[in-house]
Structure 1
Amino acid sequence: MSTHQHRIAKIDVHLVSSPVAAGFADATRTVETIGFTVVRITTDQGLEGFGLTYHEVGGEATRSLILHNIAPRIVGRDPLDTEVLWEELFHYLRGVGRKGLTYCALSAVDLALWDLKGKIIGLPLYRLLGGGKTRLPVYASGGWTSYGDDQLVDEMVGMVGEGYSHIKFKVGVDNAQNLTRDLARVSKVREAVGPDIRLLIDANNCWDAGTAIKFADRAKEFDIYLFEEPVLADDIPGLARVRRGTSIPLATGEHEYTKYGARDLILGEAADIIQLDGARAGGMTEMLKIGALTQAWNLKFAPHAMEHMHMHIVSVMPNALFLERLRIFEDVSNKIVRNAPLPKDGFIEIPTGPGHGLELDMDFIAEFDETKVTGRP
């Protein structure tokens, strides 16, 4: 089939989420629901690609923006024109958001177009992009501040038992007002998992720079592999101050958007590990540029969450450390995608099919699509 014959014919958007019964909380917020905005783009030749972004807060607005503003501008267009479409949408949407839901919408659309691109060409995206790695390291992420100490330790030990060599948990207990207990929890986890497991710590924006440096100074004895978002994500000078004040590698970026957000973090000398999220920052089109920027500054690249959307970009980038698997998303993620690759011994194997290599479970999505039903899974 000639590739030029394909034209975008239809865009569908589904909202699927699940309530978080346990009332999970980090240092700065309680998580009430988790879920996905699922974007499906179908061509006039019947091929379908999909992309995901988040549906926790504002998914309804994201869906509306895609259906009422983005879709009319790309229906009838060539799905292979990802650069052209991204640039047009960037300028069309710039007046209604330089960050936030606007870019969640654009990201999901772009990821769906890349899935289509792979299917039209007949290659998995990592091959289309020039990658070769199919077995990718992944770390487990959980350990909420709402956990009791024993619950935290049990979950971390459980992760190690499942084969993970890198595990992440959260600090900032008691509304980020109890460094002593935070350090005790880090100590308990280190003692429980032993010296060979790499510990990643996430403060979720909870401290000022001085407090974060004080914590890091006392926590370094536990051999912390990565210290994430120690201060407000927008406080780039504060992030830089923390980075100068500790030998623990600093990570941030999940709340940044586009190559310009990555540029600001890099020029601000605010991180050793850049964690922008392709489901927010601009999709595959923009993540390729963000990854290139991290290479140019000899920094590490470690996309936030959405491991199934990030598999192929991590395969391609030589400075990419690993994927992140958010434990809280596992159930709904595995229900949305029929053939979602599961971690084994701390690695994920990229599927061999074209595009993302993933198949949506449309029976599940149709049953629990919140735009059609009132119930949730």
Structure 2
Amino acid sequence: MIRHVIREVRADLIASPVQTGFQDATRKVETVGMCVIRVNTDQGLTGIGVTYHEVGGEAIKEMIERYYGPKLIGRDPFETEEIWEELFHYARGVGRKGLSFCALSAVDIALWDLKGKIMDLPLYRLLGGNKKKVPVYASGGWTSYDDDALVAEALEMVRRGYKMIKLKVGVEGGRNIRRDTQRCRKVREAIGPDIGFMVDANNAFHSGDAVRLANEIREYDILFFEEPVFADDIPGLRRFRQGTDIPLGTGEHEYTRYGARDLILGEAVDYLQMDVTRCGGITEMLKVIALSQAWNLAFAPHAMEHIHMHLVSAAANGAFLERLFLFEDITAMVFKDAPVPEEGILTIPDKPGLGLELNSEFLR
């Protein structure tokens, strides 16, 4: 095998304003974007890494180009553990979570993409998986929608072949539980009994109100209830879990194996939803998955399905992927021919590494 040495690191920032004013229970979404990193070797291979942003994308790009990127020059892409530890400790005083960790995640993903390309193996195979087809659910249904628009999007998801969907709860900032219950009833009546139905509160409630809502909508066969309370409120998550038999999904706002450990030991999760483009990249996510398996929990990562498809394929407890309708347009612009789900199934390309090709013309 020819040895590769990293010669160049580049980052591109893509941001698109959201024109229609999407709103969840706790915030208005004004921008969607990605920070795309390219790590080039002396042998002519390029590894792709990606994270996403709604605010702070410029800081992510700066962190990669000014601080992390120079420390990769001259290194072997296979040094993922050593590089991860070095970059983690380099920024630990200012960045054990948040934007700097998004930057670290993108760097690590690019190195794993390079490893797959050097070995001429799709990443899911390199990670020990062999499932080419992975279930995926559709995600949207903003609280800013009126009831007709909410039901219409749910029906559109079903029309496009999805067997599972996820919609928002927490209308009026979580202050109108009766309306949330009515909206969930209308959706279930529209989609019928055979479609998996999940809800996401985006940190809207106190635990008591979240339990009340969960128990009012349980008759609509809710697959899981996501982030019912503030993501850092582990005692509140535990109280929610003790107060209802609807499974609890959380973790998209957690970072590192230590965040996963705290959720698990706090008895505050059923579906672990940590995000590889935030939590520390593939190097760290493999440790997170191992923890979830040790406690026999489902691994159901948040968004970014084209990166997570390899991890869900390789993880014995991988449940399914999430496809955010909000990100469909920008994903189609950034990547050439990224796979699109058919009948609720995403088929992983048999190309080396991530199996993704950047649209260089768009990036320019």
How does the TM-score come out when normalised to structure 2?
Answer: 0.99
Q: Which residues in structure 2 correspond to 1:29-68 (within 5 Å)? A: 29-68=27-66
Q: Is the 8 A contact 2:163 2:344 kept in 1?
A: yes
- Structure 2: which amino acid aligns with 1:265? L
Greater strand percent: which structure? 2
Q: Does residue 238 of the first structure (1) align with residue 236 of the second (2)?
A: yes
| 1:81 Cα offset (Å) | 0.8
- Structure 1: which amino acid aligns with 2:10? D
- Structure 1: which amino acid aligns with 2:97? K
- Structure 2: which amino acid aligns with 1:87? E
Q: Which residues in structure 2 correspond to 1:193-204 (within 5 Å)? A: 193-204=191-202
1:252 to 250, 256, 276: 250
Q: Which residue of 1 aligns with 2:176?
A: 178
Structure 1: gaps (5+ residues)? 367-377
Take 1:65 and 1:17, find their aligned partners in 2: how far apart are those partners? Answer: 17
Take 1:216 and 1:114, find their aligned partners in 2: how far apart are those partners? Answer: 40
Structure 2: gaps (5+ residues)? none
1:205 to 194, 203, 206: 203
- Structure 1: which amino acid aligns with 2:228? P
Q: Which residue of 2 aligns with 1:369?
A: none
Q: Which residue of 2 aligns with 1:373?
A: none
Q: Does residue 261 of the first structure (1) align with residue 254 of the second (2)?
A: no
Structure 1, residues 216-258: CA drift from partner, whole Å, max 9, x if none?
A: 1111011100100000000000000000100000000000000
Q: Which residue of 2 aligns with 1:280?
A: 278
Q: Is the 8 A contact 2:33 2:57 kept in 1?
A: no
Q: Is the 8 A contact 2:235 2:268 kept in 1?
A: yes
Take 2:356 and 2:249, find their aligned partners in 1: how far apart are those partners? Answer: 29
Q: Is the 8 A contact 1:141 1:326 kept in 2?
A: yes
Q: Which residue of 2 aligns with 1:299?
A: 297
Take 2:280 and 2:212, find their aligned partners in 1: how far apart are those partners? Answer: 35
SS of aligned partner of 1:19? strand
1:191 to 189, 192, 195: 189
Q: Which residue of 2 aligns with 1:91?
A: 89
Q: Which residue of 2 aligns with 1:144?
A: 142
Q: Is the 8 A contact 1:123 1:354 kept in 2?
A: yes
Take 1:151 and 1:10, find their aligned partners in 2: how far apart are those partners? Answer: 47
Q: Is the 8 A contact 1:141 1:324 kept in 2?
A: yes
Regions of 4+ moved over 3 Å: none
SS of aligned partner of 1:330? helix
Q: Does residue 69 of the first structure (1) align with residue 63 of the second (2)?
A: no
Take 1:38 and 1:348, find their aligned partners in 2: how far apart are those partners? Answer: 22
SS of aligned partner of 1:256? coil
| 1:96 Cα offset (Å) | 1.0
Q: Is the 8 A contact 1:51 1:309 kept in 2?
A: no
Q: Is the 8 A contact 2:241 2:268 kept in 1?
A: yes
| 1:55 Cα offset (Å) | 2.6
Q: Does residue 109 of the first structure (1) align with residue 107 of the second (2)?
A: yes
Q: RMSD between aligned alpha carbons? A: 0.6
Q: Is the 8 A contact 2:5 2:77 kept in 1?
A: yes
2:361 to 360, 363, 376: 363
How does the TM-score come out when normalised to structure 1?
Answer: 0.96
Take 2:319 and 2:186, find their aligned partners in 1: how far apart are those partners? Answer: 26
| 1:365 Cα offset (Å) | 1.1
Take 2:337 and 2:281, find their aligned partners in 1: how far apart are those partners? Answer: 22
- Structure 2: which amino acid aligns with 1:88? E
SS of aligned partner of 1:195? coil
Counting aligned pairs with the same residue, the percent is 61
- Structure 1: which amino acid aligns with 2:338? A
| 1:110 Cα offset (Å) | 0.3
Structure 1, residues 160-190: CA drift from partner, whole Å, max 9, x if none?
A: 0111010000000012111111000000000
Q: Is the 8 A contact 1:236 1:265 kept in 2?
A: yes
- Aligned residue pairs: how many? 364
| 1:24 Cα offset (Å) | 0.1
1:320 to 300, 318, 333: 318
Take 1:218 and 1:55, find their aligned partners in 2: how far apart are those partners? Answer: 34
Q: Which residue of 2 aligns with 1:26?
A: 24
1:124 to 116, 122, 137: 122
Structure 1, residues 329-349: CA drift from partner, whole Å, max 9, x if none?
A: 000101111020001000000
- Structure 2: which amino acid aligns with 1:224? I
